[in-house]
Structure 1
Amino acid sequence: MAGLIRREDIDEVRSRTDIREIVEGYVTLKSAGIGSYKGLCPFHDERTPSFHVRPQYGTYHCFGCDESGDVIAFLMALEHTTFTETVERLAARIGYELHYEQGQGPDREAVGRRQRLLDAHKVAAEYFQAQLRTRGAAEAQKYLGERGFTPQDAQDYGVGYAPKGWDHLLKHLRTRGYNDDELEATGMFSAGNRGLYDRFRGRLIFPIRGIGGEVIGFGARKLYDDDQGPKYLNTPETQLYKKSQVLYGIEKAKRQIAKQRQVVVVEGYTDVMSMHLAGVPTAVATCGTAFGAEHIKIVRRFLSDDGSGGEVVFTFDGDAAGQKAALRAFEEDQKFMAQTFVAVEPGGMDPCELRLAKGDAAVRSLLNSKQPLFKFAIQATMKRFDLNTLEGKVQALRATAPIVAQIRDVTLRPAYARQLAGWLGLEVADVVNAVEVAARAPRGQSQGYEPRFEPPVEQPQDVAPRFQLPNPRDPMLRAEREALEVVVQVPHLLGDTEWEQFTAVECAHPAHTAIHDAVSAVYSGAGAHDVQQGRAWVEALTAAVPEQLRGYVAGLSMRALPASNDVQLQRYAAGVVAHLFDRQIHRRQADLRAQLERTDSRAEPEAFQAISRQLMELEVERRKLQAD
């Protein structure tokens, strides 16, 4: 049995190791005052940083989950290594020679099973890389060359080749002192009637590394037509390799992810390489599994995902499989505080194909075409239905309303509800109502919403519409409510310009929309003389709105307006309506700018120019409003 490490050596290793440098291999740290740093805790899922590191004291502490300790405890918790293994790894890192009680150093068993597996993977990776440079790897070399990768690129990413045959790697590792129990535990070998044999044969090999850069598994790409196996064959689950917790390329991308506060999720190993080589160093890929909760935990730590910025961009193919992957990603979207996007190449090319066909600049520009993930999810869902029929529209609304209802930013929901209404060719009020119903439904039941909707000529006249009254504390609805108070109480103070602005406004809340439409209808049917008469005006409005909203209109007519004389009241009335109109212009400008960014001026020049003209017209209108 190996002896214990001397206490003096443990203290020396601990004092010589920079805990900040070790922690930053797993967590993005920011300054938190003199001598202190903070980041998202790696031990529990959190949205705001509560994990603090004090290099001067060599300690860490999380105020969220109460985890604390020194650099040895940190690595033991994250790497699942024993105390002795951890001290030995840190000692090797700084080149310090350890001493043991009774003069005994660790034998092979004492090094630890995990370290033995890591060593075996390192030896295997070096073997595969050496094989790629042999004449027998001609097919692998051809594959890389046809995809635009140089020998230096292959070397930089550790790409290798597993030769044909049943036991080449097996013999190589046995000569290095590994027994069959250890070899089987690596996942690089399969067991048959005659014992172990190489799992990877005649394939291009991509080493999969952990966050710290150590090889923990491999991905193998088929090269030969007579290979009956799958296109990609990965390491199975082992002590080292957990596919739900692994991101290919993370060891290269982690610092740029932290620096740029961006992560780009692609689908394959060569896509990651192409992205990095084209100038997008924040790209990573999952390894044979969907992007899930464990991947999100890794990404959020490096993004510093605390709600202060950052973006996650998925690059799915535009086919059915890519759309399905996007919908799965949207299910996990709520776990990010960063904005999530999708970037799809119009021709269906993946990043590797795009780089080969159009160059590095095209790969970089792919990110400029990104659109919000929820928008992509909405449009992908709509494609499943026939929107030329009323039934298809109803089914599409039933499927898409819950997606809009899940948008984290509640201020965006009304805008996307309006846009969804346009895409489906339905009334805005119907779609907004469907979204509100879906938002109130328990998770998992919102898909069952049945929108109540028929052609107007067939709609029963005795069925009153249902409205959810606006939340008086909602700041986004305040401008609408204030403008309605003005037109209900003092319509005679508004001139033709203000009335024109008011009638052109689209309200976000369905109750406000119904009242707005009633006001516009009564105003258009009344002369200036009737508008002057407050009591008759309010009575006419009350009769014009749905019965359910009559009490709300009464409240609008009673709330005191913030003015102490007629001059102030005149200014307030005109200002409130102008403010609401100005907000609508800003909202439309923001929508158009986003649309402009997602429109390729070369592929769609007419659409690009049309949007640009609309933006110019809105800007002229906005400046005119400010001048008035």
Structure 2
Amino acid sequence: MAGRIRDEDVQAVRAALPIDAVVGDYVQLAAGGGAQLKGVCPFHDEKSASFYVHPGKGVFHCFGCGESGDTITFLMKIEHCSFAEAVERMAAQAGITLRYEEGGYSPRHQQGERTRLVEAHKVAAAWFQEQLATPEAEIGRRFLAERGFDEAAAKHFGVGYAPVGWEHLVRFLRGRGFTDKEISVGGLASQGQRGGLIDRFRGRLVWPIRDSSGDVVGFGARRLREDDNGPKYLNTPETPIYKKSNVLYGIDLARKEIAKSGRAVVVEGYTDVMACHLAGVTTAVATCGTAFGEDHIKIIRRLLMDTSTYRGETVFTFDGDAAGQKAALRAFEDDQKFAARTSIAITPGGMDPCELRLAQGDEAVRTLVDNPVPLFEFALRSAVARHRVDTAEGRAAALEEAAGIIVKIKDRSIQHEYAVQLAGMVGILDERFVVNRIAQLARWQRENQQNGQQRTLRRPEAAPQPARPERPAFRLNPRDPAQFVERELLKLALQHPDLVSPAFDQYGEDEFPTPPYRAVRRAIGQAGGTAYGASLPDFTSAVREASPDDQVRGLVTELTVEPIRTRRKADQVYAGEFLVKLRLQAVDRRIDEVRAHLRRLGDRATAEQQHPVQSELWALQQYGQQLRSRGAAAL
């Protein structure tokens, strides 16, 4: 059984890799207010940035889906790996040698599955590159040269060659200490008819497929010989580290430039990515043996920071044939917001970017990408082109098909603009007729949707509804003025304990009436209080460790990454305002309770019964007046 990684080594790994650097490999981060950064959450599909990172505290939190944690937690969630695998991966990146409780230094049999599979792919990629220089690989080098790629280009993209034969790679990996199970599970080999392992890739050019952090997770291999009866392109199968719907070829090279430029270029193949990058279009990526889909949209949106504030653009360079059109228009169906920022660069004569570069040079590739057609316009022109608009019947048919596309556009202003454009495309002089026809179709569509919903409501027996989840015992509402005061003060205590210490530590748990906030207050006290926290480099970690469960830990992280709600820098004056506000809320609640007690006593109560209650009421009222007039000085 693998030994446990030593705690001091885990802490060293956490300290060596800042959380914004790790998260930044997957999410484009921007200033989020104060010391926080924000981006589009990688754990759920969202249209606005609700994912926050606090580099100083080493934690993240999504206000949309609730996911939160530290650097290691993030890597575990994003890569679906174990704690040990996440630590091992970070340690390798930071150059830290891990030690285990049972003794010894990071023996290979103790490494997690993902770490081992990634290492096997790294070793395989280097071996494939070496094979490209062998005499047998002349056919592969000639293939590359014919497409304009020299030795330097092949090296830059890690292109390699898989020799003809049944188990060249298998034997090499065995010699490097990898087991047959690891080689097989990683998709590098498969079971032969005689029971042994055989290489998956044989006699082919091989491109390493990397994730956004640069780890090799799979391969794509191109057929070179006439006697190869396999598919033209053969990819790694689905494995624990490779999901074709979650990777884009070239993303490791294009990631930073996509974030910087606000544009992603999607092409169809590995050589197209190479051609674009060598031509200066360094934002090009491609899918790996699958159609561009919803998961790919999520990857690009995270890199583009595709929100209402950060408007990015995606350009497809599909060639306008039926398959290319279908792939591009799928974005229209999947995500209209993404589609509205998507364009199509139609290659001349059906050439792909690789062929275009070879025929007309680098400048032609850059010109292609710089002059795209908006996706909605492309969709309309594609629909109209299928009909003979030189006849009345053809114009009518084109109008009906294209109108069906326009009514799906949810933005009314864009819908009207394309209705006007459609009249010109079809050749109908009466623009108002076309606009009215589309408005009529859109109205019918809305009415049909509403009627369908009403029928569902009238006939619940036709579609039994699932049981509603139980409501939580208490629902946080940051917009509630009273809860906002509790929340802001707790944020100050976690993010800037020096600003609220020592007064905060004198506040009782009963001064935080909201149960979840009261639990955080208790955890702060159990972690030593703000006076102790002010002396620590990372007080939040201590509070998280003192939290009783994941729910409280999650709220602590949430309060740590949420920006302080002030336009100026948080200071003692701002902190004092909320110390006073919370104390005033507690005083006012107690005044209401005492007054209610007096009413219950009524006129029948003796003076001895009423006097202590009236005295407490008077003292509370005086204290409240002092807080309002003197502020923090009255605490």
TM-score by length of 2: 0.67
Distance in 1 (alpha carbons) for counterparts of 2:295 and 2:362 = 31
Tell me the secondary structure at the aligned position of residue 296 of structure 1.
helix
2:63 aligned partner, one-letter code: F
Give the structure 2 partner of residue 514 of structure 1: none
* 1:254 counterpart residue number: 255
Displacement of 1:145 in angstroms is 0.7
Structure 2 CA distance, aligned partners of 1:306 and 1:216? 29
Distance 1:52 1:338, change over 3 A: farther
SS in structure 2 at match of 1:103: coil
1:397 to partner: Cα distance: 2.0
Structure 1 residues 53 and 338: CA distance shift in structure 2, 3 A:
farther
Give 1:41-440 correspondences, 5 Å limit. 41-103=41-103, 107-194=107-194, 195-308=196-309, 309-336=311-338, 339-426=341-428, 427-440=430-443
Q: Counterpart amino acid of 1:368? A: D
The alignment partner of 2:413 has SS state of coil
Deviation at 1:362, TM superposition (A): 0.9
Q: Return 349-358 or 104-113, whichever deviates more.
A: 104-113
**CA distances 1:238-279 after superposition (whole Å, capped 9, x unpaired):** 111111111000011010100001000000101111111111
Aligned-partner Cα distance in 1 for 2:356–2:335: 27
Residue 408 and residue 134 in structure 1: after superposition, are their counterparts in 2 closer, same or farther (change >3 A)?
farther
Q: Deviations over 1:64-94 (max 9, x none)?
A: 2222111111111111111112122222322
1:324 aligned partner, one-letter code:
K
Amino acid in structure 1 at the alignment position of 2:65: C
Describe the superposition over 1:385-406 as per-residue Cα deviations: whole angstroms up to 9, x where unpaired: 2323333333222221121223
Distance 1:405 1:210, change over 3 A: same
- The one-letter code matched in structure 2 to 1:23 is V
Using the TM superposition, give the Cα deviation of residue 441 of structure 1 relative to its aligned residue in structure 2, in angstroms.
4.8
For the Cα contact (< 8 Å) 1:307–1:337, is it kept in 2? no
- The CA deviation string for residues 420-464 of structure 1, in whole angstroms up to 9 with x for no partner, is 122223342332233223434559989xxxxxxxxxxxxxxxxxx
Amino acid in structure 2 at the alignment position of 1:233: L
Give the Å deviation of 1:189. 1.9
Q: Distance in 2 between matches of 1:443 and 1:198?
A: 56
CA deviation vs aligned residue, 1:511-556 (integer Å, no higher than 9, x gap): xxxxxxxxxxxxxxxxxxxxxxxxxxxxxxxxxxxxxxxxxxxxxx
In structure 2, the residue corresponding to 1:420 is in which secondary structure?
A: helix
What displacement does 1:337 show?
A: 7.3
Computed over aligned residues only, the root mean square deviation of the Cα atoms, in angstroms, reads 2.0
SS of aligned partner of 2:319: coil
Q: 1:13 to 1:398 in 2, by over 3 A?
A: same
Which residue matches 1:492?
none
Letter in 2 for 1:123: V
Contact 2:267 2:273 (C-alpha < 8 Å) held by counterparts: yes
Aligned position for 2:454:
none
Q: CA deviation at 1:415?
A: 2.4
Cα 1:333–1:371 change in 2 (3 A) is farther
Structure 2 CA distance for aligned equivalents of residues 99 and 240 of structure 1: 25
Q: Is the 8 A contact 1:3 1:106 kept in 2?
A: no
Assess if the C-alpha contact under 8 Å between 2:206 and 2:219 holds in 1.
yes
Partner in structure 2 of residue 546 of structure 1: none
Deviation larger for 185-194 or 276-285: 185-194
- Contact kept, 8 Å, 2:315 with 2:372, in 1: the verdict is yes
**Residues 118-166 of structure 1, C-alpha deviation per residue, up to 9 Å, x if partnerless?**
1111111111100101111111101111111110110010000111112
Equivalent position amino acid for 2:152 in 1? Q
SS of 2:388's equivalent in the other structure is coil
The alignment partner of 2:348 has SS state of coil
Distance 1:274 1:82, change over 3 A: same
Q: Determine the structure 2 residue equivalent to 1:40.
A: 40
Report the Cα distance in structure 1 between the residues aligned to 2:227 and 2:8, rounded to whole angstroms: 60
2:123 and 2:421 map into 1 onto residues whose CA distance is 56
In structure 1, runs of 5+ residues without a counterpart are 447-628
Q: Distance in 1 between matches of 2:71 and 2:119?
A: 23
Q: CA deviation at 1:203?
A: 0.9
Which residue number corresponds to residue 505 of structure 1?
A: none
Query: Distance in 1 between the 2:447 and 2:294 partners?
Result: 18
Question: 1:552-592 CA distances to partner (integer Å, 9 max, x unpaired)?
Answer: xxxxxxxxxxxxxxxxxxxxxxxxxxxxxxxxxxxxxxxxx
TM-score computed with the length of structure 1 as normaliser: 0.68
Residue deviations 1:440-492 (CA, integer Å, cap 9, x gap): 4559989xxxxxxxxxxxxxxxxxxxxxxxxxxxxxxxxxxxxxxxxxxxxxx
Say if 2:406 and 2:418, in contact at 8 Å, map to a contact too: yes
Measure how far apart 1:34 and its partner are: 3.6
Quote the Cα distance in structure 1 between the aligned partners of 2:128 and 2:439. Answer: 57
CA 1:217–1:438: 2 relative to 1, 3 Å = farther
Paired amino acid for 1:406: K
Mapped to 1, the partners of 2:8 and 2:138 lie a distance apart of 54
- Retained in 2: the 8 A contact 1:47–1:337? no
The answer on whether the counterparts of 1:2 and 1:106 sit within 8 Å (CA) in structure 2 is no
| Cα separation, 1, equivalents of 2:296 and 2:271 | 19
Cα shift at 1:4:
1.5
Shift of 1:104: 5.2
**SS in structure 2 of the partner of residue 27 of structure 1:** coil
- On the 8 A contact 2:88/2:115 being kept in 1, the answer is no
Name which structure has the greater RCO, CA cutoff 8 Å, separation 6+. Answer: 2
Q: How does 1:463-482 map to 2 (within 5 A)?
A: none
Instruction: Look up the equivalent residue of 2:374 and give its one-letter code.
Output: P
Specify whether residues 290 and 137 from structure 1 end up closer, same or farther in structure 2 by C-alpha distance, changes over 3 A only.
same
CA contact under 8 A between 2:332 and 2:339: conserved in structure 1? Answer: no
* CA-to-aligned-CA distance 1:309-353 (integer Å, 9 cap, x gap): 211101011333322333333323415276110001222211111
Unaligned runs of 5+ in 2: 450-635
Aligned-partner residue type, residue 174 of structure 2 = R
Q: Does the 8 A contact of 2:211 with 2:251 survive in 1?
A: yes
CA distance in 2, matches of 1:428, 1:302: 40
Q: Identity percentage over the alignment?
A: 56
Paired residues in the alignment total 446
